[in-house]
Structure 1
């Protein structure tokens, strides 16, 4: 009998929760609950959408404007960006 093909292998990592049957059932129940909540409270949800969009603007500004180079020393309004040291002038 070959022990390499044994079914209870201990070197295999267990699957995570989100890859189990319980997670699929939880997601299905959550989707059903969300459907009925939105169906019953559609007027409230759609009435709040413009305000949620306005509330999202500061968050979008914070997370989307971090890569413009405004935080580098020497860069700012009216000052040209400093060339990289590796680039020829």
Structure 2
């Protein structure tokens, strides 16, 4: 069997195509004109966006600090549970 016949050519992804570049350019131009025309509105909302960004970053960036993600790697039991009986009598 020839391996050349088994290999399939991959289609280029959307982000590598010329349509994505055109979409990016159109979006950049539209964003520029929107920001140019509505800069006063954006500037007045900026302090509120900073205040709103604090709790949003706290929720999404901490990631739960690793609580409750599996058991201990060393196999030792946790002594924080008072109802759990250990090896001692």
- TM-score of the aligned structures, taking structure 2 as reference length: 0.62
Q: Does 1:23 align with 2:12?
A: no
Gaps of 5+ in 1: 5-9, 73-83
Task: Indicate the larger mover: 48-57 or 24-33.
Answer: 48-57
Instruction: Give CA deviations for 1:53-81 in whole Å, capped at 9, x if unaligned.
Output: 11111111112333645x36xxxxxxxxx
Within 2, Cα distance between the matches of 1:58 and 1:39?
Answer: 29
More helix, by proportion = 2
Deviation >2 Å, runs of 4+ = 63-69
Following superposition of structure 1 onto structure 2, how do residues 61-72 of structure 1 map, counting pairs within 5 Å?
Answer: 61-66=58-63, 68=65, 71=67
Q: Does 1:85 align with 2:74?
A: yes
Within 1, Cα distance between the matches of 2:61 and 2:34?
Answer: 32
Gaps of 5+ in 2: 76-89
- TM-score of the aligned structures, taking structure 1 as reference length: 0.62
Aligned position for 2:42: 45
For these two proteins, the number of residue pairs brought into alignment is: 67
Aligned position for 2:84: none
